[in-house]
Structure 1
Amino acid sequence: MRGPHNIWRLIRTGATFERTGAMTVVLDQIGAPPALRALARVLGVPFKWLGYEGDPALPPVTRALTALGPSYIKFGQILSTRPDFVGDELALQLRVLQDKLPPFPTEAARATIRRELEVEPDALFSEFSEPVAAASIAQVHRARLAEDGRKVAVKVLRPGIARAFRRDIDAFYLGAWLMETVAPSTRRLRPRDVVAHFDATVQQELDLRAEAAAAGEFAANTARDDGFTVPQPEWNLLSRSVMVLDWVEGIPMGDVAAIEAAGHDRAALADRVMAVFLRHALRDGYFHADMHQGNLKVTPGGDIAAVDFGIMGRLDEYTRRVYAEILMGFIRKDYRRVAEVHFEAGYVPADRDVDLFAQALRSVGEPIFGMDASRISMGRLLAYLFEVTERFGMETRTELILLQRTMVVVEGVSRTLNPHMNIWSAARPEVERYIRENLGPQAVARDLWRTGLVLARFGPHLPRAVEDALRGRRGGTVVVAAARPRGLPAAAWFAAGAVTAAAAAAIASVV
């Protein structure tokens, strides 16, 4: 991690940030202490002439990251999801960071296909185009399968990209270590954890088999969603560096004029973008976390099609229920309930005052609800909410920050289609549906049923456990004997009968 090449890369990085004017912006945004500012100047000022100039038309930070290459562009995109680390203003700048790079030669892509799939490209494809899109990690070609003539998208990793990323990530780890060593106060930002998160994300994107699996899971989850479609992977044409999916015909979501000219209902599309995002996040706990305009198309039939599944988000079932209750509490302006949900979930320490917290939440909600409908933003609501909860001792929750970042992007897409849309009107049906299906009597019965199934697996051991418990009386106290199967808590044996009976009763009452 601390080899000469990593030190040289950090010097080149510091020099580029100095030359583009990005160094001051970054240090100010993260509230860097004097020791860290001094280290940055040492790495940058004396070697400023070694830095890349970049595109002067870009803002300083995006200019520097773009000049430094694919690893830095991707790192900037990841940091845009962490306003807790880089600050809200810088995170906003990084959200518009583009990773469009010059394509690599088509023959190099064909060579990768030949090597990875062990077959001649001409035997697989009757047509194979020049690159139609090129990003920091891979590029896409349009092709036609020789077997049945179907149009497909062929995604191929850039040659040598894994090695290049590995080199830069090692330098990032060194930079994070220097930050924590020279300025211990920065440890609260957990820079090494941020780099580790980036490392894990990139490693997944560098294996197209993982993206194909993500596309397959997302397609299965959304198969019955009207007005939304996901391309299916060709599982027999898949490797670490090559992925083939159905080709999606359609108008890019950002081309509003073409959408209008095609006769599509822009207002309906805007509402649907917001609705499907919330449906996937709440119903499935698995959502497309990079839903910008370049990754969404409007098909000739008016469906919304999603592409590029390198960044996906997950929410466990408990977090989804908490999140839905928080959203619904704000929609109903029930700030006391929103506060109670935070305490019940353990997000806020129990020793804090729930009434003061509810009052603070009111200060978040009321100004937003007082806005004109076209200016109301759930993304802004969540951002303000995180600020308040942080003051009350809530720790950073990465999955919720990713959700909030994605919601901001989705709102931007929706409002591009319909600047006057009411975000709450689009969101409320999905939130209410989720609450109705997952927080009512049927949900209680379902939870008890699942609990009963878990306990039922230990059913063969129950008679012996009860007998051992009854035979283990000592001085009038029941003691569970050692015959209990290892790994099952003693309390489970005494709870098993009661919980199973309760589950059966609850289910019977619903059915």
Structure 2
Amino acid sequence: MRGPHNIWRLIRTGATFERTGAMGIALEAFDAPAPLRAAARVLGWPFQWLGLPGDPSRPPIVRALTALGPAYIKFGQLLSTRPDVVGPEIAEQLKVLQDKLPPFPPEEARAAVARELGVGPDVLFSEFGPPVAAASLAQVHRARMRDDGRAVAVKVLRPGIERAFLRDVDAFYLAAWMIEHLAPFSRRLRPRAVIEHFEGVVRGELDLRMEAAAAAEYRARTENDTGFRVPAVIWSASGRRVMTLEWVSGINIGDLEALRESGVNLTDLSRRVIQTFLTHALRDGFFHADMHQGNLKLGPDGALVALDFGIMGRIDAYTRRVYAEILHGFLLRDYTRVAEVHFEAGYVPADRDVAEFAQALRAVGEPIFGQDAAHISMARLLAHLFEVTERFGMETRTELILLQRTMVVVEGVARGLDPAMNMWETARPVVAGYIAENISPLATARDIASTLRVLGRFGPRLPQLAEAALMRVTLAEEKAAARALPGWVYGLGGAMVGAALVALGGML
């Protein structure tokens, strides 16, 4: 599936954008240079008849993405949170990709529930309503449990979605291969590794048992967080293609008019979105990695409610400390420390100059901090940092892809609520709190104590481990000494052993 036949899918992508009128709009939105615009139009125009027509009632870019399939729709969902990248008009158009796609027939959903759970929906539910939301992979039905009368949300995968999604991802592998071979300088970015990471995320999202487990873990980790809530999983009505959660009422975070009418403070809500994400990423190392407007609600009690747990991110304790120190260094404008952290973590090759790298980081940070709050952007910082790390040979860190992507998405959601939100001042208390708790003399003492506890568990085995290590060293030394002897010694030694064995045989 990774062969040249996927070229057809890539050609069809360009042809679809040209046929639907999305090509020119996309090039303009991304501020593509004039030569690239000319090349795209010249190459795209002759093949436009090969493109998919899409729904003419939709705006051009939405029309193209929905025609091309679920992987492209996912990309559009990301862009819908970035009005500063694609412009407010296109971002508003793309919001329909979050949960307002055409649903599949309820009869198919009911049949999927019966196949997956082994009993008809009428046995489990006293009510099973029409779809209330439809996204790229699944749709949601409101229902009511027959046993206890609880209102629930039943998520059902679209028929045939696994094959369709992975077919699109397969074409992305070919695109990554072509990029690596046609543009060798891009190899440090590891395009194929990025696609492999994306495929792993997609496969997890296509198994609703994994999503249910993620939701349950996320709820357990955050149950004591004030002003944040995760709905409970109904395990008895969940499986690979069906997942049931408790129903959550509330206002969609993207519905600014309804939020204003509710009287909520949008500036405060914007701050909570950013700080909630950072708290989960730094404190727990387990965070919601798809926090667009369609997956967040403001509950009746004022709590921020998360939905859709198909894409969750994990980062280990060491990576969390590195990430926090980098953010903290930028907050303090301590570019030397930011540079040192990159080298200590192995992110930048050791043969590069730390002072020169720190100078390059200063060139990234100072212009951003010199702007007013409305223009201080994490996305802009990441874009500039990308240019610097390319210059210094830093490879793409696949373990940070979800974290970086989600940071950009969350910033887009927060700015949608409050365009003047100061990203760095909002992040400061969370990052500073993490640094104080985890990078301090007390934290070092805790780390040493943890190390001693681990060593203590091996206490009874230490003598055997030491003896085995000593034997390996002794054997290695003997082999090295034997290899250093001349050949005639081996012959003499063999003869002596042979004679000894003959003499011993005679004695016996």
CA distance in 1, matches of 2:107, 2:275: 42
What's 1:255 paired with?
Answer: 255
- 1:48 match: secondary structure: helix
- One-letter amino acid of the counterpart of residue 131, structure 2: P
**2:327 aligned with 1:330:** no
**2:328 aligned with 1:357:** no
CA offsets per residue over residues 318-375 of structure 1, 9 Å max, x none?
A: 1110111111111111111111111111111222222221111111111121112233
What's 1:501 paired with?
Answer: none
What's 1:107 paired with?
Answer: 107
5 Å-filtered alignment, 1:492-511, equals: none
- 1:233 match: secondary structure: coil
> How many aligned positions are there?
466
Moved more, 382-391 or 325-334: 382-391
- 1:217 match: secondary structure: helix
5 Å-filtered alignment, 1:400-415, equals: 400-415=400-415
CA distance in 2, matches of 1:272, 1:257: 19
Cα offset, 1:61, TM superposition = 5.9
Q: TM-score, normalised on structure 2?
A: 0.80
**2:307 aligned with 1:307:** yes
5 Å-filtered alignment, 1:79-94, equals: none
- 1:133 match: secondary structure: strand
Contact 2:69 2:165 in 1 (8 A): no
CA distance in 1, matches of 2:254, 2:75: 24
5 Å-filtered alignment, 1:359-508, equals: 359-464=359-464
Contact 1:468 1:481 in 2 (8 A): no
Contact 2:232 2:245 in 1 (8 A): yes
Contact 2:374 2:420 in 1 (8 A): yes
CA distance in 1, matches of 2:5, 2:201: 23
CA distance in 1, matches of 2:329, 2:50: 54
CA offsets per residue over residues 233-268 of structure 1, 9 Å max, x none?
A: 111211111000011111111122222222223222
Contact 1:79 1:91 in 2 (8 A): no
5 Å-filtered alignment, 1:39-58, equals: 41=43, 47-54=47-54
What's 1:346 paired with?
Answer: 346
Contact 2:189 2:395 in 1 (8 A): no
Contact 1:379 1:405 in 2 (8 A): no
Cα 1:59–1:325 shift into 2, 3 Å: farther
What's 1:73 paired with?
Answer: 73
- One-letter amino acid of the counterpart of residue 377, structure 1: S
Moved more, 157-166 or 9-18: 9-18
CA distance in 2, matches of 1:94, 1:373: 21
CA distance in 1, matches of 2:167, 2:415: 40
CA offsets per residue over residues 110-138 of structure 1, 9 Å max, x none?
A: 11111111112112111211100011110
5 Å-filtered alignment, 1:45-194, equals: 47-54=47-54, 63-74=63-74, 96=94, 98=97, 100-174=100-174, 176-177=176-177, 190-194=190-194
- 1:419 match: secondary structure: coil
CA distance in 2, matches of 1:440, 1:460: 32
Q: What's the Cα RMSD here?
A: 3.7
- 1:198 match: secondary structure: helix
Contact 1:62 1:94 in 2 (8 A): no
Cα 1:59–1:111 shift into 2, 3 Å: closer
Larger radius of gyration: 2
Moved more, 166-175 or 338-347: 166-175
Which structure would you say has the larger RCO, counting Cα contacts within 8 Å and 6 or more residues apart? 2
Cα offset, 1:275, TM superposition = 0.8
Contact 1:66 1:72 in 2 (8 A): yes
Cα 1:312–1:352 shift into 2, 3 Å: same
CA distance in 2, matches of 1:326, 1:130: 48
CA distance in 2, matches of 1:443, 1:413: 33
Cα 1:104–1:261 shift into 2, 3 Å: same
Moved more, 294-303 or 61-70: 61-70
Contact 1:291 1:410 in 2 (8 A): yes
**2:251 aligned with 1:238:** no
Contact 1:252 1:293 in 2 (8 A): yes
CA distance in 1, matches of 2:60, 2:283: 40
Cα offset, 1:210, TM superposition = 1.1
- One-letter amino acid of the counterpart of residue 307, structure 2: V
What's 1:221 paired with?
Answer: 221
CA offsets per residue over residues 302-323 of structure 1, 9 Å max, x none?
A: 1000101112222211111011
CA distance in 2, matches of 1:105, 1:248: 23
Structure (1/2) with the larger helix percentage:
2
Cα offset, 1:71, TM superposition = 3.7
Cα offset, 1:405, TM superposition = 2.6
- 2:413 match: secondary structure: helix
Cα 1:193–1:401 shift into 2, 3 Å: closer
- 2:133 match: secondary structure: strand
- 2:236 match: secondary structure: strand
CA distance in 1, matches of 2:244, 2:298: 21
Contact 1:128 1:142 in 2 (8 A): yes
- 1:130 match: secondary structure: strand
CA distance in 1, matches of 2:162, 2:424: 43
Unaligned stretches of 5+ residues in structure 1: 473-478, 483-511
- One-letter amino acid of the counterpart of residue 452, structure 1: L
Moved more, 403-412 or 168-177: 168-177
Cα offset, 1:73, TM superposition = 2.2
CA offsets per residue over residues 140-193 of structure 1, 9 Å max, x none?
A: 011111111111110001112223334444444455556666776765664443
- One-letter amino acid of the counterpart of residue 199, structure 1: E
What's 2:318 paired with?
Answer: 318
What's 1:206 paired with?
Answer: 206
Cα 1:469–1:378 shift into 2, 3 Å: closer
CA offsets per residue over residues 266-297 of structure 1, 9 Å max, x none?
A: 22222111111110111111111111111111
CA distance in 2, matches of 1:178, 1:127: 51
- One-letter amino acid of the counterpart of residue 69, structure 1: G
Unaligned stretches of 5+ residues in structure 2: 476-508
CA distance in 2, matches of 1:137, 1:368: 38
Cα 1:176–1:374 shift into 2, 3 Å: closer
CA offsets per residue over residues 459-501 of structure 1, 9 Å max, x none?
A: 112245667899x9xxxxxx9668xxxxxxxxxxxxxxxxxxx
Moved more, 173-182 or 378-387: 173-182
CA distance in 1, matches of 2:389, 2:4: 43
CA distance in 1, matches of 2:118, 2:72: 33
Contact 1:180 1:191 in 2 (8 A): yes
CA distance in 2, matches of 1:253, 1:436: 32
